[in-house]
Amino acid sequence: MSPSPHPDGLPRCGWVGDDPLYRAYHDEEWGRPERDARALYELLMLEGFQAGLAWITILRKREGFRRAFAGFEPARVAGYGEAEIRRLLDAPGIVRHRGKIEATIDGARAWLRLEESHPGGFAAFIWEAVDGQPIVNDWKDLSGLPAKTGEAEALSKRLKKAGFRFVGPTIVYAFMQAAGLVDDHTADCFRRRG
């Protein structure tokens, strides 16, 4: 599928469709290099919640997730216990999956450990997967786009070793695309770099 023209006349990656929320996400966020450690934590956790669901579902619930998880402030989320887990299992506006909720709490704790122990903190840990610079791929259309790569598999292993869960290579590759570690905008997309 090639980039699709929209009412504004801009060609976009074929996955975008006509949903205004999806268009805004594609145009303003997806594939832009993110180097803020807290924002990277939020994005990685949301990608974990997305497992088995459509990304648009998570986008529509993102504000609910932010409310439920204290703005994805890892220092606050790391302190959550069983009472907060029960509260989140009843929270409207999020995906209420115990394993994913617990993984988000464990992820906050892993994030704090990396912030304290890894040179440059969590953001540096993440960006080491691509030697600090985005990988710019050359896709003519979506047909060649992989579900995972060697870089995603390696980062997945490092994240698991650090204590993160719901970070398999497919989830990690989606995270890498979203966080701009990889530029997978198709060749004719107006957001394509270089």
Residue 25 known to be catalytic: yes
Q: How many whole angstroms separate alpha carbon 55 and alpha carbon 62?
A: 10
Residue 41 known to be catalytic: no
Torsion of CA 125, 130, 132, 137, to 10 degrees: -140
Tokens 């994805």 identify what position? Answer: 72
Residue 55 known to be catalytic: yes
Q: Which of 30, 41, 42, 47 is catalytic?
A: 47
Q: Which of 25, 102, 128, 153 is catalytic?
A: 25
Which pair of tokens denotes residue 184? 């997978």
User: H-type helices in the chain, by residue range?
Assistant: 20-28, 37-50, 55-68, 74-77, 82-89, 98-117, 121-127, 150-162, 169-178
Exposed, middle or buried: residue 74 (CB in 10 Å: 0-12, 13-18, 19+)? buried
Active-site positions read: 25, 47, 55
